Amino acid sequence: MTDKIDHRLRGSWTADGADAAHLPGHALRWLRARTGLGEVTTPSAPSSALRVPDSALPESVVDELEDVVGEGHVHTERAERLGRAGGLSYLDLLRHRGIGELAVPDAVVEPADTEQVMRLLEVCVRHDVGVVPFGGGTSVVGGVNALRGDKFAVIALDLVRLDKLVSVDPVSRIAVLQAGVRGPDAERHLAAHGLTLGHVPQSFERATIGGFAATRSAGQASSGYGRFEDMVETLRVATPVGEWRLGVAPASAAGPDLRELVIGSEGALGVITEVGVRVRPLPTVRRYEGYVLDGWARGADAVRDLAQRRVLADVTRLSDVDETEVGLALKGGWQIAALRRYLAVRGIGDPCLLVLGWEAGDEAELRRRRSATLAALRHAKPVRLGRSAGESWRHGRFGGPRQRDALLDAGVCVETLETATHWSRLAELRTAVRGALVESLTRPGVTPIVMCHISHAYETGASLYFTVLTPRSQVDQLGQWQDAKRAACEAISPLGTISHHHAVGVDHAPYLGAEIGVLGVGVLRGIKERLDPFGILNPGKLV
């Protein structure tokens, strides 16, 4: 599937030949009945209808850029620039449908290696041109929007050519990958050595190693493989003041861990060009299963117990009642009706789906780990759905983004947001965010769907991931979501982190100060002044 994707094109997940997911008739009918969605169609505007200003870059600067990267690697054509205009947030998707203004870069530049990145930064400093490092372009928080800040022009620095496996150290289990390597390619490179990275966020098919690091990404198997920052051993970073290499040991007390500054720096402090990642042997056995627990409170307690006993499955994902209900409804069919009856008979009044997945080097290890998980889970009285429910989730795990075009065409407002907090505040946080979203999106005749799951659990807390489906306002399409997002952020801010794995970008910037304090913002500014004294890197993001 990924072979079909032309990564040069963007504007939606599926605009470029990736398999689009269509929306089955019964699912659409259910959505209409459930939310009040009208029988509208709101197809995408042709891309020729989008307003794309001429490139502000003088020909002489384009020539200088081309001197660095070689002919054919600086693009100023409309389609290429449009393809790097923003990420894949709902707002960005609307903008690509002609609603609101797109921030379009003045050129797309594709360096081949770190040295070229360094030289490009020199050119951009000399001409005071902004630089947006661009990997998979999957940001859902405006992280790659081509804002100009105080610059007269901005380029998208597309790392697509930094697509190589640099080295493998099989003894230390470290692989160095260039920043532009995409998730599936990383796995393909590593599989040739019998290794895996195991980092599978929903953006896996498109997102890149550099992007994972720049945004502090967390994959769906984070319980087993860790968050991306847990995997980073070494970093190579190009900055306007020089090249920076970090990481000589698995752990160190040689001052603060500066790798943790680069991880999450969102292209505003430097361009990550290589990442040394901890890898593991390719699992040879895999088992995914579905369970149902009765009610969110019991479910969350069970996940907490697994985390605190340190027997989480590699994938541990608990859906709330709404998400479980929507999942069943969108599937439909007689099996689902039978399942509902079975759960009722088993005394499950508020079904919450728990997906557990284990991956291991052999059956014995898998058995050992699985039985530790299930032993701890027992007192939560899980009803077992079996492997097909788990496998069904696994096969659809990257499907969400691909369904958005069909939903947008059908007039649906569809977006996700996420947060995390400590266990003692998790219920309060969920209630607050849910309440804020529902209140903001409810209108006469319209009932939004707000569903939630835990997909990353820790000893001290967990993430919450919300998905919203509601009829799109035909009055103020951007404003509808901006208002809802603001309400959600204001609910999150006093109780949890403004982002567990989507990063700050533009959308979360107003809430960063509350989280890291005035001093934290000052510290980030101090670092930015050192590494990017001319302020060319990702203008308007992070700091």
Those residues whose C-beta lies under 8 Å from the C-beta of residue 510, and which sit 6 or more positions away, are: 489
Is 269 marked as binding a ligand?
Answer: yes
- Interaction between residue 217 and a copy of itself (CB under 8 A): yes
* 367 belongs to the binding site for a copy of itself (CB under 8 A): no
Rounded Cα–Cα distance for residues 298 and 290 (Å): 16
| 462 sits near a copy of itself (criterion: CB under 8 A) | yes
Nearer to a copy of itself, 153 or 195 (CB): 195
Which residues does 439 contact at the CB level (< 8 Å), separation at least 6? 487
For 239, the token pair is: 């900055």
The strand pairing partners of 316, in sequence order, are 356
Among 22, 26, 387, 530, binds a copy of itself (CB under 8 A): 530
Ligand-binding site membership of 136 (annotated): yes
User: How far apart, in whole angstroms, are the C-alpha atoms of residue 169 and residue 178?
Assistant: 15
Site string for a copy of itself, 239-278 (x = CB under 8 A): x-xx-xxx-xxxxxxxxxxx-xxxxxxx--x--------x
Inter-residue contact 202 to 218 (CB < 8 Å): no
Candidates 18, 406, 504, 506; binder of a copy of itself (CB under 8 A) is 504
Give the shortest CB-140-to-a copy of itself separation in angstroms.
11
Burial class (CB in 10 A: 0-12, 13-18, 19+), 258: middle
* Of residues 539, 443, 533, the one with CA closest to residue 142: 539
* Active-site position among 90, 288, 291, 465: 465
Closer residue to a copy of itself, CB minimum distance, 12 or 220: 220
DSSP 8-class letter at 116: H
CB 135 within 8 A of CB 180: yes
Among 57, 406, 417, 524, binds a copy of itself (CB under 8 A): 524
Strand boundaries in 374-440, DSSP class E: 383-386, 412-422
Interface positions, 146-185, toward a copy of itself (CB under 8 A) = 169, 171-174
267 belongs to an annotated ligand binding site: yes
Sign of CA dihedral 249, 250, 255, 259: positive
What SS3 state is found at 456? coil
Choosing from 372, 380, 446, 478, the residue that interacts with a copy of itself (CB under 8 A) is 372
DSSP state for residue 141 in the 8-state scheme: S
The verdict on 49 binding a copy of itself (CB under 8 A) reads no
Q: Compare residues 471 and 535 and give the one whose CB is closer to a copy of itself.
A: 535
511 is catalytic: no
Specify the amino acid at residue 80. E
Furthest C-alpha separation in the chain:
74
From the CB of 181, what's the least distance to a copy of itself, in Å?
A: 19
Q: Which of residues 305-344 bind a copy of itself (CB under 8 A)?
A: 308-309
Closer to a copy of itself by Cβ: residue 336 or 427: 427
Would you count residue 188 as binding a copy of itself (CB under 8 A)?
Answer: no
By C-beta, is 70 or 520 nearer to a copy of itself? 520
- Residues in 392-431 that interact with a copy of itself by CB under 8 A: 419-425
Q: Would the annotation count 58 as a binding residue? A: no
Tell me the binding residues for substrate: 404
Tell me the binding residues for FAD: 133-139, 266-272
Residues that are catalytic: 465
